[in-house]
Amino acid sequence: MDNEVADFWSAFEKETGEKVEARSEGVWYRVPNSGAGHEGLLILTNKSFRFKYVPKTVAPLMGPGLSPEFVDETEFTVARGDIVSVRLPKRGFFAWIVRRSFPRCSMVTRGKGGEKTYVFSVDPSSGLLAALAKAWPNAAGRVVHKG
């Protein structure tokens, strides 16, 4: 299984030409205030942030816990330079005790069609939140605008 995981991420980097900095299983809420979302992988690379649909055959590559039941094959990719702001949840000292679900985060991007907000939930133990906080240093608990 470890070789399959390494092979998958090596192929991903080769295909995209991007270096993966952090990844997590997660949920993207296409409708931001909706309770229903799309399960898959959230990936931060040196060039982009993306949501990748994960078919049943690839779900084990993130390890246990990722449900094989997915809503559809919708995906998105946003260039890091188009990210205007990031909002990460402020996690208190006891957050790990009362953790009911993955925390919701949001990202505002600017593109040809104007600004767009992406809302997603991410596994806090994956390292993706830490990578986003590092890339956007004051993101925890409030919106941080870059550029």
CATH no. for residue 74? 2.30.29.30
Range of the domain at 41: 2-9+17-145
Walk across the sheet containing 114-122 and list its strands.
Answer: 76-79, 48-53, 38-45, 20-29, 114-122, 104-111, 83-87, 144-145
Distance CA 78, CA 102 (A): 22
Dihedral (CA of 132, 145, 91, 51) sign: negative
**pTM for this structure?**
0.76
Tokens of 132: 């986003």
Q: Are 41 and 75 in contact (CB under 8 A)?
A: no
What are the residues whose beta carbons fall under 8 Å from the beta carbon of 124, sequence distance 6 or more?
Answer: 91, 95, 99, 102, 103
What pLDDT band is residue 139 in, cutting at 50, 70 and 90?
low
- Total structural domains within the chain: 1
Give residue-wise pLDDT tens across range 34-75.
777 888 899 999 999 999 887 654 444 444 444 444 435 578
Give residue-wise pLDDT tens across range 94-116.
555 555 567 888 888 888 888 89
